A and B are shown apart, each in its own frame.
Chain A
């Protein structure tokens, strides 16, 4: 029999019982659709993760935060836990002792910073290309009035006037050489050197001061800001307010005047940023040059190192080792690499589970094909007998049913893949919004990747599944005894 005739026979048989054909195909359609959607989303998400971080140096970023250390706060070495117990319990108790040695109730806790020795050690670690201390400081700020400009935001000196709380501003140290801060300056300029004594003000602080228009903000460049730093206190306040510049009733530690060098705006629209920098800059009202920020930091007595540090490894392959060494020193470490790996691991687990579910759907639809073909063989027993009497070989009979299954698989596969593609387009629009909201970054790529090989693969998978499902019924049809079949009613 010619292939064209086989196709005609098969499609005639499928058309003969349309509802059965549609239901059987529906199983394949849904299974194929689910599989393509899942794989397409998984490919897309992996791409999203790569696009957001892998393209720049962020994977080499290592953030160090103070941990409980290996030593008790009194400087003695690691507390020993004696007695009979397993290692896990010993470790747990050791950590508990370390924690408790830090002090009593939270208000008496020393502010948590990386101590000076540790900072030196971190900066000297092999394989580190760059290091930066994150220094955030809390000040009471006011604009110094000038002769020609009225004091817009300073409180009047009239003692009878109601006492307003002083305006609080957080500064963040940032290097003069920076990939994107200079580009965000909307008036004046960014720092020329790390030691420059000046301040770049965030537009939000000016807005809080009542300076809303761009012109008013521009006019501010060159004016002077008065800073009051209260004495650092420990406890919760210290933990919450960047290293512990004191509350407003604490004694004044120092005061200083700094010129406004420029006005910086918030990250906006399509602009890229690094995850770690963004986290630190989130609350910053002002920027001071990195070296000068250090100078201010050290003005508060007894502080030691910074609250947090960013290390950039020279080599991506080195990140894991660096991470481990720092952890062994009792510090807390966060890396983008780790986060990305976690995301990818989670993604692959979800993908595998979802694919298995979709596979089960296809398997069930394969059972549907088996059932349909068995029915078809049974109904056409006489026809098969006649075909054999007319000289059809077992192979001829088998190919009729194989082609029938192939048509079901191909039709269902094409429709399923097409439907998956359509849903992926819709899902892309929804998903893109979600990605942008979650990562706070513009996202240009496709959330659902739909490469040609995925479409072809899904089609092939549907076809192969259908053909495999057809094997048993087909053998059954081929082995039908024509004499018995012709007697069959």
Chain B
């Protein structure tokens, strides 16, 4: 059963002469348990596509179904529910809250769900241990390396055990050693949890190592698909 189904998705930004077509008819199907890498040059529309998949924005035209949610026509309330229940997101720039402990960062999504504090603490500690930061629960972002920060972000994205994980260049801000570690972590977690991962990157060898399938976006269109091993 396909988890993600996009048909002829277009996204236009701006008005009149400033009009930009970021996506010009994307067709994409992702099956359950796939690790999909989306490759493409800067400005090709990768982030735009990911934001649509994350329910943070809606397509101008086209149909989008993710886990039964009609994202093209959903209202803000349903989109919020979708984001809470269906997905986890990892950003290139980590998006950790300054001055808060790793535990706080990971507890945040659970707090939004209204979970009791004790349960939150237990789940957050477990998730941080899973990404190898069991000893860094009380460290703030300023006290963590870039790789560690991104691992906190991964723990935050996965603490709710979402069926779909979306990553926008998760290694873009990391040196190669740290990038490798994060990618290995993502691969391991995807195997253990059998979730579906969509990862954006512009490094083909990274895609080759991690993903079960890669697609390339050029100028707002998906131009080639290749199954990796």
Contacts and interface: CB of A to CB of B under 8 A. Distances in A.
Interface of A: 1-2, 5, 16, 382-383, 385-394, 396, 481-483, 486
A5 B97 contact: no
Given A2-B114, A389-B54, A391-B109, 15 more contacts: A1-B112, A382-B95, A385-B95, A389-B89, A389-B95, A390-B89, A390-B109, A390-B112, A390-B156, A391-B113, A392-B80, A392-B112, A396-B112, A483-B51, A486-B91
Contacts of B84: 390-391
Interface in B10-30: none
A200 to B, nearest CB: 84
A2 B116 CA distance: 9
B137 interface: no
Nearest to A482: B56
B111 interface: yes
A393 B114 contact: no
A385 B99 CA distance: 17
Contacts of B54: 389
B108 A390 contact: yes
Contact of A387 (B85, B89, B112, B114): B112
Contacts of A16: 99
B83 interface: yes
B80 A483 contact: no
Nearest to B168: A486
Nearest to B57: A483
B81 interface: yes
**8 nearest CB pairs, A to B:** A391-B84, A391-B83, A393-B80, A390-B109, A482-B56, A5-B111, A386-B95, A2-B114
Given A383-B97, A483-B57, A390 B114 contact: no
A483 B97 CA distance: 17
- Interface range, B side: 20 to 34
Nearest to A396: B112
A383 B141 CA distance: 14
A389 B83 contact: yes
Interface of B: 51, 54, 56-57, 76-77, 80-81, 83-85, 89, 91, 95, 97, 99, 108-109, 111-114, 156
A16 B156 CA distance: 23
7 contacts: A389-B95, A390-B84, A390-B89, A391-B83, A391-B112, A392-B112, A482-B56
B97 A386 contact: yes
B71 to A, nearest CB: 14
A117 to B, nearest CB: 90
A486 B95 CA distance: 8
Nearest to A16: B99
A391 to B, nearest CB: 3
A485 to B, nearest CB: 10
Contacts of A486: 91, 95
Given A1-B114, A387-B112, A393 B76 contact: yes
Contacts of B91: 486
Contacts of A396: 112
A377 to B, nearest CB: 15
A482 B156 CA distance: 18
B20 to A, nearest CB: 14
B80 A388 contact: yes
B126 to A, nearest CB: 18
B140 to A, nearest CB: 13
Most chain A CB neighbours (cut-off 10 Å) among B56, B57, B76: B56
Nearest to A478: B76
Contacts of B85: 391
Contacts of B112: 1, 387, 390-392, 396
Contacts of A391: 80-81, 83-85, 109, 112-113
Contacts of B113: 391
Contacts of A385: 95
Contacts of A481: 57
Contacts of A482: 56
Contacts of A1: 111-112, 114
A147 to B, nearest CB: 104
A387 B56 CA distance: 11
Given A382-B95, A389-B89, A392-B112, A483 B83 contact: no
A429 B54 CA distance: 67
Contacts of B111: 1-2, 5
Given A383-B97, A386-B97, A393 B56 contact: no
Contacts of A392: 80, 112
A386 to B, nearest CB: 5
Nearest to A394: B76
A486 B91 CA distance: 9
B60 to A, nearest CB: 14
A346 B156 CA distance: 66
A1 B95 CA distance: 20
B157 to A, nearest CB: 9
Nearest to A383: B97
Contact of B83 (A2, A390, A394): A390
A5 B111 CA distance: 7
Nearest to B54: A389
Contacts of B114: 1-2, 5
Contacts of A383: 97
B145 to A, nearest CB: 21
B56 A483 contact: yes
A5 B117 CA distance: 9
Contact of B77 (A5, A393, A483): A393
A388 B95 CA distance: 12
A5 B91 CA distance: 25
Nearest to A3: B114
B100 to A, nearest CB: 9
Nearest to B107: A5
B23 to A, nearest CB: 14
A385 B83 CA distance: 13
Contacts of B109: 390-391
A257 to B, nearest CB: 99
Contacts of A382: 95
Contacts of B76: 393-394
A16 B85 CA distance: 31
A387 B109 CA distance: 8
A388 B108 contact: no
Contacts of A393: 76-77, 80
A473 B170 CA distance: 33
